[in-house]
Each structure stands twice: as structure tokens, then as C-alpha cells.
Structure 1
Amino acid sequence: GRPRAGALGRPSCQTLAIFGLLIVTGFMVLIMTKKAPPFTSLVLVPLVIGTVTGLMSQYGYTALEIPKFAIAGMISNADLKINGVAGTAIMLLFAILYFGLMLSAGLFTPVVNFILRTIKGDPLKVMLGTALLALAVSVDGDGSTTTLVVCSAMMPVYRKLNMKMMDLAVVLILSNSIMNLLPWGGPTARIIAALKVDEGELLRLIIPGMILASIWVLIIAVIRGLAERKRLGIQNLSKEDIEAVIAEQYQEDADLARPKLVWFNFLLTAIIMIQLIFGGTWIFPKVHAALIFAVGLAIALTVNYHHPADQRRIIEKYGSSAVQVIFMVLAAGVFMGILAGTGMSEAMGYALATWVPESFGSHWPLVVALVSVPGTFVLSNDAFYLGVLPVLNQVGIQQGFSAMDIAVASTAGQAFHLLSPLVGFIYLLLNLTGVDMGRWQIQSAKWGIGVFLMFLVGMFAISGVPL
């Protein structure tokens, strides 16, 4: 099989890491300069560079294996130990159709009504409402669900007031990056598995930073809200205006609205959310999110739309959005599969863990926090926390730090992780809001610096992790 990065000679490993970094950099440059669309960049950049390195025949794989790595990134390959994105793509398919159905059926109509009556046309209140809703819904740990719920509830309001969708997209992703650190979220679960630290103690130590970062997101909402208030003013929405917003949102398919079933749809959605959040704990069995949404969609279609023609309309109406998102997620799978299969991910992780000067050892938790930023951006959570973090932990232990110190410090990079092209659900967010990926990454990163600093203050100044 393919030799591990650490088993390669140091020059070869470093060169492989450079090629991996070249793939990531090439992708970012192409989309930010708009020389190529994200799909093209995600597929062609790793294929070209991976094939070129494979022709060199000195890194443990050949150019002929590149297609196999690309396919593994999409549908998984146990022999290569690559987890594909097929499960995520299927989940997104059913989730988009489910929430689209609920949008047409009118589940979110009362929510939009309430928001409009409360904000009374004030962009500042809209931004604060967006931040609070995103922070609350993100508790489920799933970015796709958060995106669908928040966008479904808030986008009609943004359209009515002519507010910037970029603000919605930025506040949503920053909120999710904070709440994703809860124990049932991806990164924390992997940290616990990699370093065998206590789940409860880890949560207690990262909560101060999460609280400070959440306050920072609310401050961002106020800043952006005041800017939008200055640009647009406060609109005095009458009862007729509110009704017009709702009518405009559903005028194309008004006959698909099911106001009498709003409580049934709410209960069904609540059950789905509870299963997503608490699956695998207490009395709730662990069930893949794709199956949860598939069952939910089947029930919702049957109850809300008895006639096959109406069911077909729902699928056709929201199927195009689902296809566009799956399109991008599978492309991200190609990108990830080639990085993982060629060993470039592992080589970049090895480089991150070994390139840091030993003189920094006395401040190792801070080093780990800083390394986690590029680490969790260019690598998947699996690759960084299960592959790189144990190496960083061994160095930390030699310097007199505990595994818990390293575990807490490694969470800081999550402030930027969700901006990575390897995160599937961001393509759903970009598709729904219609914002440009490169501009969104820049704007989110700018405000994400504050989230990162709040994480550092929480872990070092409040939780007592030694610098």
C-alpha cells in the first residue's frame, strides 16, 4: 500500500506537502480572481497536480491511481481509509427537499410574520435576530440544518428590506463555527477520540471562549445592522406590508400552502431536530442524518400532498437547488480524495507538526492554537485532529503540558475551519444566498479573527490553559 508520509524521506515528505499546499493555493487563487468557477477549480486543480506528481513515481503512487483517489473521495474506500462525501450528499438531497417542502407548506410563515412584526423594518433588529437564531439552531451541530432553517426564516425578510445577503451568510457561518464545538459536533468528538481526554472537562474549558465568541457575533450583528440602517433607513412596515411579503414569497405556488397542517409539520420537524441533536444518547438511537431526513420527507410528502402530481411539483421545485449543492459537494470529494489518497494531507499535517521551531516549546499551547488555523483549513477535521494533533500532543507532553491543554488549544482553529472548501454544507449556504465564494471567505475571515481572539482569551485568560 501507499507509504505513510512519515515513512517517506524528509525531503520527499516536504515536497509532497508543498504539492498539497499548491493544490489548496491554486484553488483559492482561481476562485478569488474569478478565473474559474469553484466546481472547475475543485476538480481540475487536484487532478492536474496529482497526475503530475504521480508521473514522478517517487511518492508511493502513480498517475494511474489518481482517478481511484478521486472516486474514493466521493463514495469512500475502506482499503484507502478515505471517507467519501456520498453520505453528506445524500443527506443534503433529502434535507433540501424536506425544508423546501416545509417552506411551500407554510411552516415558516408564522416565524416570518413574527419576525416582521417584531423588527418593524429595522435592519439592526434583523441582524440581531439572524445572529440569535443562527446561534440557537447551530446547537444541533449540523451546518446543513442550520443553513436551511435560518435561510428559510430570514431570507424573505432580507429581500423585503433589500438587505445584503452577504451579512446573513457571514453571521450564520461564524455562529455555526462556535456552536460546532459542542461535544456532539465534529471537531470536539475527534479531539476526545484522539487524545482520550474527559468530555465534560473539555467542554467546561472551552465554554468561556464560546460565550465570548458568541458575544462577538452579536457585536458584529450590531455593527452590520447599524451600517444597513444607515444605508436603508428604518421602514415602517404596516400589516399590509407584512402580508405582502408572505404573499410574494408563496405567490407562485399558493395552492401548495397547508396552513391547517402547520402544527403537524412543526411537530415532525421538532422530532427530526431532536433525533439529530440527541441521537446516540439517552433513549434515542444513533441514525444517519440522511435516513432521518429521508423518513421525514416520506412522511411529510404523504401527509401534506396526497396527489402524486403535487409531490412531483415539490420535488421538481426544489430538486434543482439540491442538484447544484450536491454537484459542489461531490467536487469537494474529488478535491479531498486526491489530497488524502496521494498522502498530501498527511504530509501537510506532518509538516505542520514538525516545522515549528523547538524554541517555541515553552509556549506550545499557543503554537497549537496558531497551527490549528491553517491545519483545520487545508485539512479535514479527521486529518488534523486524528493525524496531526497526536503528534503535537507528544511534543506538548515533552514540554510539560497536559493533553487537556493541547486539546483545548486545538479548538481555536475552528474560527476559520468552516471557510474551507472541504466543508460540504458551505456550498448550500452559497447557493441559497447567492453570494460569491471568494468575497464571502474574505469577509468571513475578517470577522473570524475576532472569534479566534475570543477563543484565545477564553482558553488562556479564563480557563487557565498555560501559554
Structure 2
Amino acid sequence: MLMAFSGFMMLATIMYFLFKGRTIPVVVFITVPVLAAFLAGFSVTEVVSFVEFGIKKTSKMAVLFIFSVTFFGIMSDAGMFDGLVNKLVTKAGTNVVAIAIATAIIGIISHLDGATVTTVLVTVPAMLPVYKKLNIRPHLLLLIVGCGMGVMNLLPWGGPVARAALVLGIDPTTLWHTMIPIQIMGIFATVALAIVMAIREKKFHNAGRVDLVVNEVSGDVELKEHDEAALKLKRYNRTWINLSITAALLVILLLGIFPTYFTFMLGVCAALIVNYPNVDEQKRRMRAHAPVALDVASVMLAAGIMVGILGKSGMLEAMTVPLLQIIPSSIAHFLYVIMGVIAFPLGTMLGTDSYFYGLLPLAIKVGENYGITGLTMTIAMLIGKNLALLISPLVPATYLGIGLTHIELRDHIRYSFFGLWAVGLIMFAFAWMIGMF
């Protein structure tokens, strides 16, 4: 009982401080879990082992964030994305809705490989300059990418589907075949969300109002450039070389030739050598992106402490039991509906492994006592959890996204939470309507 109480208090305190902005995430993720572990009765030696376990799990990801943020920052300095930005702005003009739809399509297609970090690295750096030039808040970019990612993560090689299939004891492809109609509805819902939120941005936040000029030579629509220092960093004559480096990097990522973090280490080296061969300029470029890179990595390492304490102490398992016991027997027959509705907020608070290997088996076991099949419970709980991918404080890609866009975690959650939850509920309702349950 004390373990469960400590766990709930820990999560509630963390969420409170994150939403209220009383302190930075690093302080919250380090101090609160450690205090909760001591409150639960663990010794210093045990707490240290939990911390080491969590740090070990997140250290490579922290290195990845440092070098991926630096790589795309250098490429942005060199102007690699400027050509794409100009063409998109030329085609869409100040049409915020068109940009939002394009973002949804790019996010959906880029997540075909099922890798969350890769999807963020492909979509956000490429689209962020467009959003800045059209005065669209980057919160919308993360919301749309997160939604498309969540929908496409229902593919059989997506982590959640594979974990859920393992719990059920069936092939992931079999589970995916059952969920294809839901996934198709999710794609339409993602585009609809992008349109609705883009209209809202345009109406209430002046998105799309920007100073544009037409280049007399190329005919391209461009933004008036006022930053002379930024212009000096541009390397337009090396754009194709930079694009080739980036393409090669993404191919290596997809093929898994090297560890992801090492791939970006090599990418940073190539970007510096090609664009800024002068040693002093290389140092300036590294220093320019160090604050963001360090901020993202430090939060990731701090979150590792929370992950380690939750996962290694058994605290999470203790928390799931009272969650299921408080459900009255009169409504237990509709447990899959309850779990389907709250799957998104639960998925936001719980890590993927904890959700599918801890909560899902317990929910299935309880549901079977009331005639609810394991497949029904799994589908209900999969939908919302997938939509929580890019909003959960326990998902590494979340920190990469907010690091690249310079958004505070609490602001990202506030902006995206209800939109993503709405899409999850639409998909769940559609599954119910077509008799999937």
C-alpha cells in the first residue's frame, strides 16, 4: 500500500510542478522520484541502484539528443532547409491550413518505419522554418506530427503493437490486420485536427501574416531577411552536399548500420568540415547550439531517474492494482470502455513497457472475469496510448521535439493534450461503431 501511495504521490507532484511551471523539469525529475523512493521505504543502496538503472537506459539517448540537435542546428545555419521553405511558402503562400495539411502528410509518411526519434528528426527541422516564417506557433507542428506518429504507430513493427501482441500471444501482423480500419480513420482524423487547429491559429494568433517579397530572378516568395549575422552563415553553394550528407545519415539510421547516437556524431563532424572548415567558426557553431543540446540531454538524463525508480522498484506494479480495484462491479462489464477512454491520459503518465507489460495484463485478467476478451481490452487500450507518444514525459522523442522547437514541456502538453485525446476518442468510438468490440 505504501508503495502505491508513494508512486501516485510522485506522479501527481511531478505533473503539478510541470503544469504550474514552479521549477524546471530537471529539478522535478531528480528530486521528486528520489524522495518518493525513500518514502516507500527503500534504502540508500537500493535507490542508487534504481538511479543507475535509469541513467543507463537514457544515457545513449541523451548523447543522441546532443548531437542530433547540433547537427540539424548546423544544417539550418548553413541554409539547407531554405530552398524547401521557399518552395513550400511559394506554393502555400500564407495558407496556414495548407501548411498544416502538408505537415500531417509528411508526419504520417515519415513514420512508416515506426521510429519515433527518426520521425521527429525528419519532420521538425524541415518544417520549423516554414512555421516561423508564417508566424505559426511551433506548438501546432508538434501536435500534428505527434498525432500522425500515434496513428501510424499501429503498424505491426511499431513498439506498442509488438508489445501488445506479445502479451496476447498472437502475431503482431494479425493484431494490425484487425486494427486497419481504425488506422484509416485515424489518418482522416489527423488531417481534420490539422485543419481545425490551423484555422484556430489563423483566427486567434495571427498565423500567416508575414512580410513576403518576390525574388525578381527566381520568382520565389521569400521572407525579408534582416539578420546579417545569419546571412553570413549561409552556405547555399553547398546545399546539395548538405542534402546528400543528411540523406546518407537517414539511410544509415533506417538500415541500422551504426548506433543512432554514433551516426549523428559522424553527421556533426561532416557538417562542420563541409560548411565551416575554420576551427574558430567550428567552435562558435558548437557553442551556439550547446545551450539547447545540453538542456535536452539534461532533462533526458533526469527523466531516467524517474524511469529507473518507477520500473525497478516495483512501485508501478503496486500502483496498477488499486487502479483496477476501485472500479465498481456494476460497471465492470464496461471496463474496456473505461480503459479506452482513459488510455490517453494513462499513456501520458506511464512508460510504454510499464503500460503494456504492467497495466495491460492486469486489465485483461480483470476483464476476462466479466466476459471481456483479451483482444477487446488490448485494442481499447492501444489506441489512446499510441496517441500519447509525443506528449508523454517518459518518451525520449518528446524531449527531442520540444528541444528542436524551443517549447517548454508544460506548454506542449497544454496545447496538445485535448486535441490528441479527441482524436483517440474518435478512433475508439469508430471501432465501437463498426462492431470491433
2:136 corresponds to = 163
- Do the aligned partners of residues 274 and 200 (structure 1) sit closer, same or farther apart at CA in structure 2, a change above 3 Å counting? farther
Matched, 1:68 2:69: no
- Which of the numbers 197, 210, 214 marks the counterpart of 1:239? 214
The SS at the match of 1:425 is helix
- Do the aligned partners of residues 274 and 465 (structure 1) sit closer, same or farther apart at CA in structure 2, a change above 3 Å counting? farther
The SS at the match of 1:413 is helix
Residue type of the partner of 1:226? I
Distance 2:166 2:64 in 1: 24
- Which of the numbers 313, 317, 337 marks the counterpart of 1:346? 317
The SS at the match of 2:396 is coil
Alpha-carbon distance, 1:371 to partner: 5.4
- Do the aligned partners of residues 442 and 308 (structure 1) sit closer, same or farther apart at CA in structure 2, a change above 3 Å counting? same
- TM-score, normalised by the number of residues in structure 2: 0.87
Alpha-carbon distance, 1:87 to partner: 2.0
Alpha-carbon distance, 1:374 to partner: 4.4
1:57 corresponds to = none
Residue type of the partner of 1:217? T
- Do the aligned partners of residues 222 and 377 (structure 1) sit closer, same or farther apart at CA in structure 2, a change above 3 Å counting? closer
Residue type of the partner of 2:39? V
Alpha-carbon distance, 1:339 to partner: 2.0
8 Å CA contact 2:293–2:403 kept in 1: the answer is no
Alpha-carbon distance, 1:100 to partner: 1.9
- TM-score, normalised by the number of residues in structure 1: 0.82
8 Å CA contact 1:121–1:237 kept in 2: the answer is no
- Do the aligned partners of residues 276 and 355 (structure 1) sit closer, same or farther apart at CA in structure 2, a change above 3 Å counting? farther
1:80 corresponds to = none
2:27 corresponds to = 40
Quick check: 239-248 or 310-319, which moved more?
239-248
1:192 corresponds to = 165
CA deviation digits over 1:287-310, x for unaligned, max 9?
532233233334444444444444
Matched, 1:393 2:364: yes
Alignment of structure 1 residues 311-390 onto 2, 5 Å: 311-370=282-341, 372-390=343-361
Quick check: 329-338 or 139-148, which moved more?
139-148
Alpha-carbon distance, 1:112 to partner: 0.5
Residue type of the partner of 1:47? V
Residue type of the partner of 2:290? G
Residue type of the partner of 2:404? L
- Which of the numbers 223, 234, 255 marks the counterpart of 1:257? 234
Residue type of the partner of 2:17? L
- Do the aligned partners of residues 269 and 64 (structure 1) sit closer, same or farther apart at CA in structure 2, a change above 3 Å counting? same
- Which of the numbers 191, 209, 212 marks the counterpart of 1:218? 191
Distance 2:226 2:164 in 1: 47
Matched, 1:421 2:379: no
Aligned CA RMSD, in angstroms, stands at 3.0
Residue type of the partner of 1:318? H
1:26 corresponds to = 13
CA deviation digits over 1:127-184, x for unaligned, max 9?
2233333333333433333334433233333333333233233223223222233333
8 Å CA contact 1:134–1:150 kept in 2: the answer is yes
1:101 corresponds to = 74
Matched, 1:437 2:409: yes
Alpha-carbon distance, 1:326 to partner: 0.3
The SS at the match of 2:191 is helix
1:79 corresponds to = none
The SS at the match of 1:238 is strand
Alignment of structure 1 residues 132-151 onto 2, 5 Å: 132-151=105-124
Alpha-carbon distance, 1:421 to partner: 1.7
Residue type of the partner of 1:340? G
Alpha-carbon distance, 1:236 to partner: 7.6
Distance 1:345 1:200 in 2: 29
Alpha-carbon distance, 1:246 to partner: 7.9
| Percentage of identical aligned residues | 27
8 Å CA contact 1:261–1:304 kept in 2: the answer is yes
8 Å CA contact 2:384–2:421 kept in 1: the answer is no
Distance 2:347 2:186 in 1: 18
Distance 1:273 1:229 in 2: 33
The SS at the match of 2:388 is helix
Distance 2:129 2:139 in 1: 14
CA deviation digits over 1:102-123, x for unaligned, max 9?
2233321221011110111222
Distance 1:425 1:48 in 2: 26
Count of matched residue positions in the alignment of Structure 1 and Structure 2: 431
Alpha-carbon distance, 1:97 to partner: 2.1
Residue type of the partner of 2:132? R
Q: Which runs of 5+ in 2 are unaligned?
A: none
Residue type of the partner of 1:120? G
8 Å CA contact 1:123–1:234 kept in 2: the answer is no
Alpha-carbon distance, 1:381 to partner: 0.5
8 Å CA contact 1:73–1:335 kept in 2: the answer is yes
Distance 1:245 1:184 in 2: 41
Alpha-carbon distance, 1:260 to partner: 3.8
8 Å CA contact 1:141–1:182 kept in 2: the answer is yes
Alpha-carbon distance, 1:399 to partner: 4.8
Distance 1:398 1:105 in 2: 61
The SS at the match of 1:51 is helix
Distance 1:351 1:289 in 2: 39
Quick check: 19-28 or 125-134, which moved more?
125-134
8 Å CA contact 1:179–1:210 kept in 2: the answer is yes
CA deviation digits over 1:244-265, x for unaligned, max 9?
538457x435454333443343
Distance 1:206 1:314 in 2: 46
Alpha-carbon distance, 1:332 to partner: 0.9
The SS at the match of 1:21 is helix
